[in-house]
Structure 1
Amino acid sequence: MLWRSVVFKLWFTIILLVAFVLLILTIFLLEFFESYYIEDAEENLMNQAENVAVVIDQHEQTELPMNTIDQLLAPQTRVTVFFDEHNYWQNEFDESYLPDIEPSWFITNNVVNSVLNENESVRKITDIPNSDAEIIIVGIPTEDFNGGIYAYQSLEVVEETTSRATKLILLAATIAIILTTVFAFFLSSRITAPLIKMRKVAGELSRGEFNTKVPVLTHDEIGELAISFNRMRRQLRYHMTALNQEKSQLSSILKSIADGVITVNKQLGVMLMNPPAEKFLFQLDFAQEDQNYTLPQELRDVFQQVIEHKQEYSREFVAQGRNFVLVMTPLYIENEIRGAVALIRDMTEERQLDKLRKDFLANVSHELRTPISMMQGYSEAIVDDIAESKEEKQELAQIIYDESLRMGRLVNELLDLARMEAGHIQIHKEKVTIGPFVDRILNKFNSIAEKQQITISSDVPPNIEYDLDPDRIEQVLTNLIDNALRHTTENGEIHIKIEEANQEIAVHISDNGSGIPEEDLPFIFERFYKSDKARTRNGKKKGTGLGLSIAKHIVESHGGTIYAKSQVNEGTTFTFTLPKE
């Protein structure tokens, strides 16, 4: 709006000031001119009256001075001469200037008495009888003080002169206001042009644009203001750049933190969070589509305790089957708690690893305790001469030897598994023909299979060559075939089938043994896991529970996969794949 702008306000102020000054000046000038013209008219009338008095005093005849007086007087002036209270004379007068006034009016208004009786001069402004017009009248006594001379004229002459002067003053005031308006607009434009530019630049600054510079047009206060504005713009750009860098760095740090970070205010409103915290709230179904997050009750309870006690608080809770650790710290702004910062860490894997560690120690202790107990018991029997015959002692020594071998296998497999899990397994690949390689492994189990009356068959395509580590793959096949033999009853069958497809080979080891329950299948590749509930183990050959775990690491180190399919009392099929590249 124009009337809200600085230009309008400055122009209006100047015009108001000039108009007020001109009004006061006009009033004083009109008063001055009115007083001046009235006094001038009184002086003229007084001079004419004195001239009349001189003419009358110098001539004794009446007619001659009266004709002379008519010639001396101005057309708008009328003179009445009283020789005494009953003898008077009036000059010829044009009634267009002034209505005729009866001489008796002077007597009734005590004008004659003041001059004739008191011999004093008279100056007076009064109304004309039977009219709204005013006259200026002066009177002086004659030289012999026997009469009086009265000169008067209409006040309209003075009013006309004053009206002309008023019009002239008003014309001058109008011209002055017009010139002042032009000057005010010019001056205000010169003053406000840099301010308008600063306003435009300030608007750009509010939108985040810091490159526009205010031109310095003058070297006065406005120029200094423009210099200060440009300096402020540079400082704002510097600080905004620094803040953006800090914000970007903080955002990057928050995004890179694996733990969830949530900042809440005193009203439990979420102010800041990183992606792990968003994932945490999504898992707990506390995030809406419009990105408005609400805190779960666990966080609300901890927040209340942090606000009440003004100290850090931590706790562990379980949600959606996962373990979380919550650490909440009060957030201070100028020594006043304005909220809290919550750190949420998913401890599920740590707790699972801790459980696996405890289970591993328990399993190792259990697996080692059995052979050690047997070795200790049978050795005591030999030492105490419980076994009398040589055959009995040899039998006990054989049992001790077998258990020591079993314990040695367990320790070696533990060492191999530890190296594999640490990533220290070394794979030495070479070109291997699959057919002869599998036949050589099966030959090791022919005697055992014949003894248990189990049939082993194979289906291997001829002339297939692959790059693999023969020792490690032999360890996998040996482990899987040994498992099949131990869990297959008499007259059972074991079949090894190898097929090639999609640049990989798939090795299937199938048996028709006791099978594995469906609920145990996901865990059979874990260390020391044994499905004793469904599988009847051979009492003379006990496994360590590490073979399948080692086989899985070997296959994965070749870039392949291993899995099992099984049905209870129908059999099991282990399959592992090896990529060609």
Structure 2
Amino acid sequence: MKQTLFGKFFLSSLLILTVTYAVLFASMSQLFGQFYLSLKERELKRRGELIASVLTSPTQEIPETVKRLSEGIHVLLVPLNRLSAPDSPLRHGPQMMRPGAMFRRVFPLQELENRLRQGKAVTFQGVLPVLRQEMLVVALPLPPDAPPQAVLFLSTPLADIQMTVKTFRYLLLWSGLVAFPLAVILAFLFSRSLSVPLKTMRTMARAIASGDYTKRLEIPPEEELGQLARDFNTLSQELERTIRTLEREKREIENILLALKEGVVALDLEGRILSANPKAQEVFETPLFGKARIDDVLPQNVATLFQETLKSGMATQGECVFRSKRLIIRVAPLEDEGMLYGAVGVIQDITELRRAEELRRQFIADVSHELKTPLTAIQGFLEAVLDGVISFEEFREKYLPLLYEETLRMSRLIRDLLDLSLMESGKVQWEMEPVDLAALTREVVLKLTPLFREKRANVENHLALPLVVFGNRDRLAQVLTNLLHNAILFSPEGSTVTIEGEEREGMVTVSVLDEGPGIPENDLPFIFERFYRVEKSRSRKGGGVGLGLAIVREIIERHGGTVGAENRPQGGSRFFFTLKRAFREDGSAQQPGKDSEQWPLQGEQ
């Protein structure tokens, strides 16, 4: 027979009440027994301490005092060295007890003696042969200075304690029997108050689960019932599963769109924007939302591609330029069961790709030219010698130095390419040490003195105080050499190249300033890129292919620093790099080594 909802509630309530009462009865009985036994034990110890203090005092009223303190308990005083003797006397108490027999039955004698000699009190329970009943016994050693050394035994029958505990249990049982009928009545009323409204709620919940959403439940807000939750969960779980699936798919699509490097724009049949990811808004530099028409927010050539797809239902593709950006747009139709309902376009910004391709083509052309020019000269000179047009002596005196210069030029090109390739691969390891940039700058300036004289240029080195950083000395010298070489190369004859340095907030900045034509604003962001040259013809005259500044950037970034370039208001350019100042482990600034002091400060002219 199927049990009703009321029956389940009522029986469950009765079971809970019964189990709760049984657990409470057992635990309270056990806890009270332990508590009362502990209370008696403390009482015996307290009496024993009082009796011990009386026995060790010089007063003449010892018997009367001890008799008064030992009322209701048994007291035995035994010398410690005669603990196991058969004739141990009883100083005070109603009966004679044989301690040897008693203690051998209830407690190991040797262990008892050891603990008492250590001055510890001992508590135990057991049946005493003399009294023939179960007793609670407390043994207290007298103070060591009380002659003779003895042990005071105090005991009380456990029957008295057990009787008190039994009385407590009877009272607890009768109180439960009186309260149980009242609890049954309350359980009956509670079960009835739950079962009646739940039947109505279950009927309504099943109707809603079957698709009838017209009915409404009128439930007091405080009545949150389990059966109602189970019935409603049948409906809510199905709805929740569907909604979660849709939300998960939506989040996945949104995350994909957010992670895409391409812009994505979706339209409806009327050309209104349904959605667009942040990359699309970044590319077109305008918000794409609010059902705006594509004609109003996107360039006309981009809108035309979308319109062609919406009209024909076919995918289209095109390339266009928008605000200095080169874009590829691919548009595909959106269909549902063969019905066109919109279009989606993917916009890819290929500006950097095209620029990289252009740089690669330019690099191939530049390297080919740089290699072809010296090789052509070498080939021509050698053919002239082989054909007898010029004598070997004339070749050695006049043309061999030129061939040597062309060989050095090719060697520099190949060395720069290898250095840059190694640095970009991260495979090269440099030895790091404290380097004084001021002293290193003076060394580099001294080495470039012939080049300054050739260009009739002046150099002003304002690096006075030591500027110590942690780095590779040779690579930092290469950085300074490249920057100074560029400054000399692009400055007119008779101009001045200035070197400045400063330390601010633990960072060291070194700047190289020239009086050249400056750098076009459009070229500034790319000046440190590989193979990039502002003036290609002038660069070729210097023997470079646009690798010097790229090497500078790689070296400084490998040192954890930054590089930059800007135009000076009074004309010319400023190239600079920033590195962290070197500090010792104690936090003080690193001082330059002996090498830093070898070069006196100069204002080189």
Q: Residues 480 and 195 (structure 1 numbering): CA distance in 2 closer, same or farther, change over 3 Å?
A: same
Contact 1:330/1:341 (CA < 8 Å) preserved in 2? yes
TM-score w.r.t. the length of structure 1 is 0.55
Please name the residue that 1:333 is paired with: 336
Whole-Å Cα distance in 2 between the matches of residues 274 and 203 of structure 1?
Answer: 40
Does the Cα contact within 8 Å between 1:420 and 1:553 map onto a contact in 2?
Answer: yes
Q: How many residues align?
A: 373
Alpha-carbon distance in 2 for matches of 1:569, 1:268: 53
Q: 1:319 to 1:462 in 2, by over 3 A?
A: closer
Contact 1:286-1:294 within 8 A present in 2 as well: no
Q: How far does the alpha carbon of each residue in 1:328-365 deviate from its partner, in whole angstroms, 9 at most, with x for none?
A: 22222122222222222222221221222222222222
- Gapped regions of structure 2 (runs ≥ 5): 1-196, 217-222, 583-605
Confirm or deny that 1:558 pairs with 2:559.
yes
1:476 aligns with 2:479: yes
Shift of 1:228: 7.8
Which residue of structure 2 lines up, in the alignment, with residue 76 of structure 1? none
Alpha-carbon distance, 1:485 to partner: 3.7
- Looking at structure 1, the residues matched to 377 and 445 of structure 2 have their Cα atoms a distance apart, in angstroms, of 32
Give the C-alpha shift of residue 519 in structure 1: 4.8
Is 1:429 matched up with 2:428? no
Distance 1:519 1:190 in 2: 79
CA spacing shift, 1:214–1:242, aligned 2, 3 Å: farther
Measured after TM superposition, the shift of residue 476 of structure 1 is 0.9
The answer to whether residue 443 in structure 2 is matched with residue 444 in structure 1 is no
8 A contact 1:431–1:466 mirrored in 2: yes
Tell me by how many angstroms 1:274 deviates: 2.1
2:121 paired residue number: none
1:524, CA displacement in angstroms? 4.1
Deviation at 1:527, TM superposition (A): 4.1
* Contact 1:322–1:346 (8 Å) recurs in 2: yes
Shift of 1:493: 4.0
Code of the aligned partner of 1:416: D
Residue of structure 1 equivalent to 2:256: 253
Which amino acid in 2 is paired with 1:575? F
1:236 pairs with 2:235: no
Change (3 A) 1:347 1:382: same
SS in 2 for 1:403: helix
8 Å contact from structure 1 (residues 262, 270) kept in 2: yes
Distance 1:303 1:391 in 2: 73
- 1:303-318 pair list within 5 angstroms: 303-318=306-321
**How far 1:308 sits from its partner (Å)?**
4.5
Pair 320,481 (structure 1): closer, same or farther in 2 beyond 3 Å: closer
Residue 511 of structure 1: how far off its partner (Å): 4.3
Equivalent position of 2:511 in the other structure: 508
Aligned residue among 249, 273, 276 for 2:276: 273
Deviation of 1:551 after TM superposition, in Å, equals: 1.4
Distance change in 2, residues 1:302/1:520 (3 Å)? closer
Q: Equivalent residues in 2 for 1:385-424 (5 A)? A: 385-388=388-391, 390-424=393-427
**What is the aligned partner in structure 1 of residue 293 from structure 2?**
294
Deviation at 1:191, TM superposition (A): 9.6
Asked whether the equivalents of residues 286 and 293 of structure 1 are also in contact (C-alpha less than 8 Å), the reply is no
Any idea what the Cα deviations from partners look like across 1:464-490, whole Å, max 9, x if unmatched?
422012111110111222233444566
Aligned residue number for residue 576 of structure 1: 577
- C-alpha spacing 1:228/1:301, structure 2 compared with 1 (3 Å): farther
Structure 1 pair 481/278, CA: closer, same or farther in 2 (3 Å)?
A: closer
TM-score with structure 2 length normalisation? Answer: 0.53
Partner Cα distance (1:536, 1:313) in 2: 45
> Which amino acid in 1 is paired with 2:273?
V
Gaps of 5+ in 1: 1-188, 206-211, 218-225
1:372 and 2:371 are equivalent in the alignment: no
Aligned CA RMSD, in angstroms, stands at: 3.9
Q: Distance in 2 between matches of 1:204 and 1:354?
A: 69
Counterpart residue number, 1:546: 547
Counterpart contact for 2:533–2:539, Cα < 8 Å: no
Shift, 1:194, TM fit: 5.4
Q: Distance in 2 between matches of 1:203 and 1:278?
A: 45
Closer/same/farther in 2, CA of residues 242 and 551 from structure 1, 3 Å limit: same
Structure 1 Cα separation of the partners of residues 555 and 215 of structure 2: 65
User: CA separation of 1:203/1:413 partners in 2, compared to 1, >3 Å: closer, same or farther?
Assistant: farther
Q: Aligned partner of 1:293: which letter?
A: A
Match of 1:322 among 309, 325, 350: 325
Cα deviation per residue 1:450-475 (whole Å; 9 max; x = unaligned)?
56554444333344422012111110
Structure whose alpha-carbon radius of gyration is higher: 1
Residue 271 of structure 1: how far off its partner (Å): 2.7
Describe the SS at the equivalent of 2:314: coil
